[in-house]
Amino acid sequence: MTVTEPARAKSSDGGRRDYPGPSPLAVPGLLRKLWFDRIAMLTDAASEFGDVVKFAMGPKTLYFFNHPDHAKHVLADNAANYHKGIGLAEARRLILGDGLLTSEDEVWKHQRRIIQPAFRRDRLAGFASAVTDAGQALTARLSARVGDTVDMSEEMTRLTMSVLGKSLLDADLSPLRMLGPAFEVAQDRAMFEMVSLGAVPVWLPLPRNHRFWRAKRQLEDAIEVLVAGRAHARGGDGTDLLSILAGAYSGERNARKRWSVMRDELVTILLAGHETTASTLSWTWYLLSGHPEAEAALHAEAVEVLGGRTPGHEDLVRLPYTTTVIQEAMRLYPPVWGLTRRSLAADEVGGYRVPAGADVMISPYTLHRHPGFWPDPDQFRPERFASSAAVTTHRYAYIPFGAGPRVCVGSHLGMMEATLIAAMVAREFRFELAADARPAPEAMLSLRVRGGLPVRVCRA
């Protein structure tokens, strides 16, 4: 495998040269890509300019770094100098507030300490039953639809929301079916805010804004139902995340502040806790539908290992091929496609000066397809993950859950859920992409399948 060196910024006389990047004449095209296809904007730039690109788009400048050494520096080695950046900044202001995903410094450390116990590895075995219960409900629905076309993206959202409720929150989220569509509207408004640079205020009486305010009310109404239900049922003394949060903030005398903190935490957990795994599983079914040999191998392993029984946490180590399929799906379509940061102080990344207050982008999507670290980077090859030593020569070339102190707190739960569900479903079914389907990545807060994933359900 050829391993590339990071881009160097020193000229022959020792001075810093200018950043590579599109010319000012390319700004209209860049803005169109920023709005319609953010993935193409990054992949095209990496292909044309290399590992370091400066996008100057009117009042906004974005510094894009695309070497694993750059990712290591920004996300881990000097993480304290970088706060969350564009996209998340807008989502924080509009919908997420100061939850674990968007908070910073001591507030974030306090929240992480509170939430961390709910994700301990020794609790994962207990969560497996919530995963397999949801998997059995899914296979029952699919059994009734053999020969029909179903939207597997929608089914994955329904499934992961169920798992989230039963495992982390000890709550039945099925009556709150508006959560998925409401989050979709909220993300759309946050992305619009990002690409329009705030030029269209959210208070204007426009259809897009009306949809956003309605979605925000639905999300907050759902949070009120969850919090009130737990307070009446057990007073916040359980071991699930909802009770942990209720107990942690019960001493806050200001009722409005207590509600605000609980609301921010739970909206974040509800979004991040279901959307990333739903994205991973959706892309898994898409990839398998076009690779029948991998689909057959996954089915064979599930039949051999599980037979006709319900899987458990202990089966994870017995499903190595299934695990590699999930890992490869996350390489090609990482659930979090972009990790945006804003520098607090001036820094140097790969020899290039980063000014204070700069918007910086690290993209798992482009890192995972970097030709210097991945042979045949655009091909679906689960076998590349067959042994950890063979994956990559650089730890930061594969970061589907992020890296550094802000690595995803729910990564182990997400992997368990995706692996067990993939085995349960592939044991019984295979999927044929609908003739009119044109799946494409849609870079929102997560990497969704634009327009859903319509497939024909077939018996395996």
Residue 246 has what pLDDT?
A: 84
Q: Is the pLDDT of residue 10 over 80?
A: no
187 token code pair: 């993300």
Residue 81 · residue 344 · CB < 8 Å: yes
- Reported as a single tens digit per residue, the pLDDT across 188-197 is 888 887 777 6
- Reported as a single tens digit per residue, the pLDDT across 396-417 is 999 999 999 999 999 999 999 9
Nearest 5°: phi and psi at 135? -65, -40
- Reported as a single tens digit per residue, the pLDDT across 155-182 is 999 999 999 999 998 888 888 888 888 8
Highest-scoring range by mean pLDDT, 225-234, 338-347, 438-447: 338-347
250 token code pair: 């019960």
Helix (H) / strand (E) element for 299: namely: helix 292-306
pLDDT band for position 9 (cuts 50, 70, 90): low
What's the rounded Cα separation, in Å, for the pair 306 and 439?
31
What's the rounded Cα separation, in Å, for the pair 273 and 278?
9
Mean pLDDT for the stretch of residues 14-34 = 79
CA atoms within 13 A on the CB side of 205: 0
What's the rounded Cα separation, in Å, for the pair 211 and 410?
30
Helix (H) / strand (E) element for 79: namely: none
Q: How much is the mean pLDDT over the chain?
A: 89
For residue 204, with 0-12 CB atoms within 10 Å meaning exposed, 13-18 middle and 19 or more buried, which class applies? Answer: exposed
What's the rounded Cα separation, in Å, for the pair 185 and 404?
30
Residue 8 has what pLDDT?
A: 55
pLDDT band for position 199 (cuts 50, 70, 90): low
- Reported as a single tens digit per residue, the pLDDT across 279-325 is 999 999 999 999 999 999 999 999 999 999 999 999 999 999 999 99
If DSSP codes are grouped into helix, strand and coil, which group holds residue 343? strand
Residue 269 · residue 99 · CB < 8 Å: yes
Residue 238 has what pLDDT?
A: 72
- How far does the chain reach from its first CA to its final CA, in angstroms? 36
Number of CB atoms found within 10 A of residue 108's CB: 19
Handedness of CA 178, 184, 185, 190 (dihedral sign): positive
* DSSP-assigned beta bridge partners for residue 151: 454
Mean pLDDT for the stretch of residues 337-342 = 95
Mean pLDDT for the stretch of residues 56-62 = 85
- Reported as a single tens digit per residue, the pLDDT across 70-128 is 999 999 999 999 999 988 888 888 888 899 999 999 999 999 999 998 888 788 888 99
Number of CB atoms found within 10 A of residue 23's CB: 7
Residue 215 · residue 181 · CB < 8 Å: yes
pLDDT band for position 420 (cuts 50, 70, 90): very high
What's the rounded Cα separation, in Å, for the pair 341 and 347?
13
What's the rounded Cα separation, in Å, for the pair 196 and 190?
10
Residue 93 has what pLDDT?
A: 86
Residue 52: which of 34, 39, 70 has the closest Cα? Answer: 70
If DSSP codes are grouped into helix, strand and coil, which group holds residue 307? coil
Residue 224 has what pLDDT?
A: 86
pLDDT band for position 426 (cuts 50, 70, 90): very high
Number of H helices, E strands in the chain: 15, 12
Domains annotated for the chain, with CATH where assigned, are 24-459 (1.10.630.10)
